[in-house]
Structure formats: structure tokens, C-alpha cells
Structure 1
Amino acid sequence: MDSSEQSVVARIEGRAGTILMNRPRALNALDQPMIDAMAEAAARFRDDPAVSLVVLEGAGGRAFCAGGDVRAIRDAAVAGDATTIERFFTSEYGLNRAIAEYAKPWVSLIDGVCMGGGIGVSVHGSHRVVTESALLAMPETAIALFPDVGTSYVLPRLPGGVGMWLALTGARLRGAEAVEAGMVTHFVPKGRLPELRAALLDGDAGAVDRLAAPVPPGPVTANRDAIDRIFAGVTVPAILGALDAEGTEWAAAQAATIRRMSPTSLAVTHELLRRGATMDLPACLEMERGLTRAVTRHPDFAEGVRAVVVDKDNAPRWSPARLEEVSERDVAAMFG
């Protein structure tokens, strides 16, 4: 098969094992064959003494990886195919853990859209490099899923209330803002990526530090006081109340965004991060895996993916429709 037809192109180049996510028309969204191929390549490069580090990239110039193939998961959920759903999340989370435990530098060059599953294959690595073209988010509450791929561990460990803010709102971070928020490690201008990549192929992971540019305070820092105060709320309704009381344009925008999300997903996400704050990564991944079973059976998941991905009318009909109608008992039951 020609490399242009492979959804993952993995090869040894110099001292580096390179992995290219190669579904550009799908914005490199992860499907089952991609996850399997990436896991195989990661294991092969890990055990090869000729490989000093791994470089992960996305093809096409528009996206690093826009997430998991949620349309396929929705199709399986509608068909009652729990086996396909279980296999997808089990293998995806296994890859996330393997990256977190990788014994060699795992360098993600994030240039373009990076969401959901794209976060999962990068955030657990040693070097997460963004350019000015990068756009990062965990937008799962919009499709009635939840921030997964190990972010129930990562998000509660970001500074102050930043993790809860990102989780509930799906806020999008551009380039340097992702460094500011703590989601990535380095900012390298797009024009220097070829130089960086060449150094990485020589096995020089230190080039990331040398070529990185400093990140000045930006929008995340400007709103940190409000983020920390408001998103420490003990419930999502409490957070919304604090946003409404803040009286700023920024707070009003956050409140409006949250009110568009699945009420059930918001409640589940808040509880997920509360629990994840006291757990290690393997335990968080196992918690997420269990939660996928309940969440993908909930009617909001199929409806959310329909509204955002399938029909793209952005007019989901949530059940229940209001946060006040979400039962704490029902949320607890979803965690098993």
C-alpha cells in the first residue's frame, strides 16, 4: 500500500521513530485502525535501540488530530454494539497510558487543530510543541461525552481553576495560550518547525528547548483570577451563578457556552474532575473506561453527536433539558 493511502505512516528516520497521522480529509480523527497502528509503532520504537525518540505529527496542514471518530462510536451506540465501543475506548486509553509511561522522549508537533483524542496522544508525552496555528480544546460536553483520554487526571492538575474551565466550556486555546494554560510544554514558531524536525531526526530532543520561544502573559492570565474563583464552585449551578454575578463580558460568554452543553454531561464532567484530582493516571483511565459504557448509552450522546457532527444543525435536544433536572443519584450511578 502506498504511504499516501495509509492512515498511519510509521517509519524510522535517522535516530527518530516518526508517526504521521494520515487522514487529512477527516482532520486525522482517530479510528480503530489508526489506534491499533499507533500502538504497534509505539511498541516497536520503544524496543528498538536505534530509536532515540518519537516524533508525532498530523498530515494535511489543517489538523494535528481533531479527536476520535465519534460518528463511528455513535453508529455503534445506536446499533447497540457495545463490543465495538468497548474495544475502541480500551485500545485508545491503552495507547494513552503507553505514551505516559514511555521510556523515550515522545515529541508531538501540534500545528493545527488538536482536540479530544488528539490531546490524548500528545498531552501524556514528554514534549508537547505548539505553533501559532495550533488550536487545542476538549469540547466533549458539546456532544454529551466527557473529557476523557486521561484528561480526568491532567485537567485537575492544571493551575487553579483552569482545568475545570476548559472541561465545562470546551474553551479553545490558540498556540501560546495552550502553554499559558499548562496543556503543552513549548511554543515554537511555525517557521522553525523544519529546523526542529531535522534536529529531532538526529536524536536531539534538547532542540525543543533551544528553539522554543517565550510565551508572554495573554488571555488565560488576564482571566485567571475569575477562572480560579468561579470554577472552584462545588456544583455546575454554583459556577453558573457565580458567572452570572460576575457581570463581565467574559463571564457572560462562559455562562452562555455552558448553558448550550448537555446538562448531564456537565454534571458528569464536574464529578469526573473532582474524583480525578485524587487519583493516579491508570485509575483515571479505568474510571473513564467504565464511564464510557454508561455515557454512550445515554440518549444525549447520540443526540449530541447528531447535532454537532452528523446533521450539524447545532440544535441538540437534551434529556433532561435543564441542569436543575439532573439527578445526583443518576450521575453517581453512571460511575458505577
Structure 2
Amino acid sequence: MTAPEVLTSTRSSTGILELNRPKALNALDPEMIAIITAALEEWRDDPEIHRVVVVSNSEKGFCAGGDIKVVRERALEGDHEFGDQFLQAEYTMNAMIANYSKPYVAIIDGVVMGGGLGVSAHGSHRVISEKAFAAMPETAIGFIPDVGLSWMSTHVESAEGIPLPAVAKFVGITGYRMQPADMLYSGLATHFVPSEKIGDFTDMLIAESIDEALEKFAEEFTEESFLNQHRTVIEKCFGHDSWAEIEAALGQCEDPEFVDLVWDLLSSANPASVVATTELYTANAEIDSVEKGLNNEYAVGSVLRRQPNFPEGVRAVLVDKDRQPKFDPAKPADVDPIQYRSVLS
């Protein structure tokens, strides 16, 4: 008998979600989303449950994203309704986590990308180890950063004590891989616990409380953040509303190493996704709820999923894995932003 893809249990006064699809690096599929949603609904109203913790049963990481290959397969058959329903269910779950009335603790001891951020970043506590790294590489597959991250990352309090929307926009557009110091600096992560202590930390927070466990095991992370080191140039280049303005700023930038990095990160990105992502982050930085942010992601994503660049990007990265996508248009300058801007609220 096959074990569920998410194992749910309760211990002491803690509801436990164990992501249990290790061969797929816990890529979220509809079954996993349904299990998580049902458990959270049950525990939300259970007075015996005081907190929820989500962990991974994979030694390689937390969650590598959503199972987007099946969305591509259905789209190629002309069935876009499958993708619509998949993402509606996922985004409903993301909003539930963001608004959860009890502490929700995500423990990230490895890779977390895409949909994995949707089941972790909206929690009250995002605990990482030195093995953690995060990215939203959706522009490379012809899509946009979603699962509420385009809203959360532009509103969350950073180590500077304020949100850093231009930094969030840089990360979202380029797919930059955030290291532990970047995750803590940007506000994506809230605490650091060394990997060798993660097991003891988890046991203590389950048996006692999150505050006691953090007091005993959380440490300062001393490495410097790239995002902090380059915040000034990031804000000069990415602190604009449209991709055309960002590209112009990059052309005038006096830090050639940073510019080279940006173009290297964007070398395999879908130009339409770059333009659409810029429009999305600009809009979501100005709105006041994760639900509205998710609605904007759904609206822009619905347009992109129905365009040929989406199946082509997923093919190049996740199916054939040749990393040789053929996108049309081939340059962001040839992409009309109005098609994406017009569906945003």
C-alpha cells in the first residue's frame, strides 16, 4: 500500500505535516494540496492543536516546487481547465496559511523553490539551516513567480526593518538563487538553526513550544548577504515600474559585474515572462492583501499558460532538460506589456 504524499499526524499539541514525495523532491501535486488543506481546516478549529509544523521527509531538501509538467501536458491537449483548478486550489491553500490563526512553522533544511515557498513562506515562522537555498525560477519555464510570493516578498519586513520591493522584484524577475544569508536578510526566513540541531529543535517545538525551542536552538547567521551588499545597485536598477525602465537603468549602471550577472541570470528566461513578472510585482507592491496578490498572479498566469512559451519553457527545463528554449518574442522589447497589465487589479 502506497503511503500518502503528505503524512499528517498530531503529537502533544502540534499538528505535523510531513511532505512525503521524495523521488519528486516533494513537488506539489493536487493530492498533496488537498491533504494539506484538509488538515489545516481540521486543526484550525481543534482547541487541542496549538501550532502546526511542516517538514520534509526528503534528505535532499524541503520542496522543489509544483508539479507543473502535468499542467503542461494538459495544456498541450487544449485542457487549460486542469491548470486553472490546480492553481485555484493551491492559491486557496496559500491564503489559508498566510491567514492561519495558529503558529505555522516551516522547517527548511535544503532546497525550497516555487510551490515549496507557497507552503512555507506564508507561515508565521520560517526556520532555515545553512543547507537552505531558495529561488523562484518561473521566468525560465515561461511562467511567473506565484503562490503569493510576488505579494509576500514585496511586503514582508526585511532585516532593514522595512519591506524591500525592488530587491524582491530583482529576485523574482531573474530567478536569483537566495542563500541562507539572503533569505534572512530579505525576510523570507525568520530564524536560523544549524542543520545538525534541526532534529532536536523540531522535537522540542513539537513537545513544548516554538518560543522555547527557538530560545534554545536559534543562532545568529554571520555570513554576508549578496542582496545586502548590492542593495543600492539593485534598487537603482530594479526600483522601476516597467521592464523597459529597468532595462534602461541597467544600460546606465556603473557596476558592470552586477549587470553581467543580471543578463546571465536572464539568459534562458522567457522574455514575455520577464515583462509580465515586472508588471505583476509592480502591481502587487501596492495592494493590501495576499488574496488580491494571488488573484493578480492567477490572472497574469492564466494569460501566460495559454501562450506557446509556457509549454516550451517547461519542456526545455523539466521535460527534455536541454535548456535550449525557443521563445517568441525573443526579446523583452518586443513584448507588449499591456496584455498583462490589463488583467491586473
TM-score norm. by structure 2 comes to 0.92
Q: Output the CA distance in 2 between the equivalents of 1:194 and 1:329.
A: 49
Structure 2 residue 123 is matched with structure 1 residue 125: yes
Which stretch of the first structure deviates more once superposed, 210-219 or 234-243?
Answer: 234-243
Show the counterpart of 1:134.
Answer: 132
2:258 to 236, 240, 250: 250
**Which deviates more, 212-221 or 68-77?**
212-221
Structure 2 residue identity aligned to 1:117:
G
Q: CA deviation at 1:218?
A: 2.6
8 Å Cα contact 2:105/2:126 also seen in 1: yes
Aligned mates of 1:40, 1:48 — CA distance in 2? 13
Alignment of 1:1-336 (within 5 A): 1=1, 5-157=3-155, 158-210=163-215, 211-216=217-222, 217-244=224-251, 245-279=253-287, 280-333=289-342, 335=344
State the Cα distance separating 1:299 from its structure 2 match: 0.7
Residue 312 of structure 1: CA displacement?
A: 0.4
Q: Distance in 2 between matches of 1:56 and 1:33?
A: 16
Task: Name the CA distance, whole Å, in 1 between partners of 2:340 and 2:187.
Answer: 29
- Letter of the structure 2 residue corresponding to residue 254 of structure 1: V
Alignment partners' CA distance in 2, 1:208 and 1:264: 45
TM-score normalised to the size of structure 1? 0.95
Segments of 5+ residues of structure 2 without an aligned counterpart are 156-162
How far off is 1:327 after superposition?
Answer: 1.2
Q: How many residues align?
A: 334
> In 2, Cα distance between the equivalents of 1:131 and 1:54?
19
Deviations 1:175-204 (A, max 9, x none): 232101211111111111122111111240
Contact 1:28 1:65 in 2 (8 A): yes
Any conservation in 1 of the 2:114–2:138 contact (CA below 8 Å)? yes
Deviations 1:53-88 (A, max 9, x none): 111011121120111001011111111112211110
Work out the CA distance in 2 between the residues paired with 1:178 and 1:287: 24
**Cα offset, 1:248, TM superposition:** 2.9
Residue pair 1:196, 1:207 contacting (<8 A) in 2 also: no
Q: CA deviation at 1:111?
A: 0.9
Whole-angstrom CA distance in 2 between matches of 1:334 and 1:198: 46
Distance 1:218 1:333, change over 3 A: closer
In 1, the alpha carbon distance for the partners of 2:303 and 2:326 equals 19
Q: Say which SS state the counterpart of residue 11 (structure 1) adopts.
A: strand
AA in 1 matched with 2:262: Q
| CA distance in structure 1 between the partners assigned to 2:342 and 2:241 by the alignment | 19
Measure, in 2, the Cα distance between the counterparts of 1:85 and 1:160: 28
Aligned residue type for 2:269: M
Shift of 1:160: 5.0
SS in 1 for 2:69: helix
Report the CA distance shift for 1:24/1:147 in structure 2 as closer, same or farther (over 3 A): same
Q: Whole-Å Cα distance in 2 between the matches of residues 152 and 220 of structure 1? A: 17
Cα distance in 1 for residues equivalent to 2:89 and 2:164: 30
Aligned partners of 1:255 and 1:38: how far apart in 2? 38
| 1:310 counterpart letter in structure 2 | V
Letter in 2 for 1:100: A
Q: Secondary structure at the match of 2:266?
A: helix
- What CA RMSD, in Å, does the superposition of the two structures yield over aligned residues? 1.6
C-alpha deviation, 1:335, in angstroms: 4.3
Q: Distance in 2 between matches of 1:190 and 1:207?
A: 18
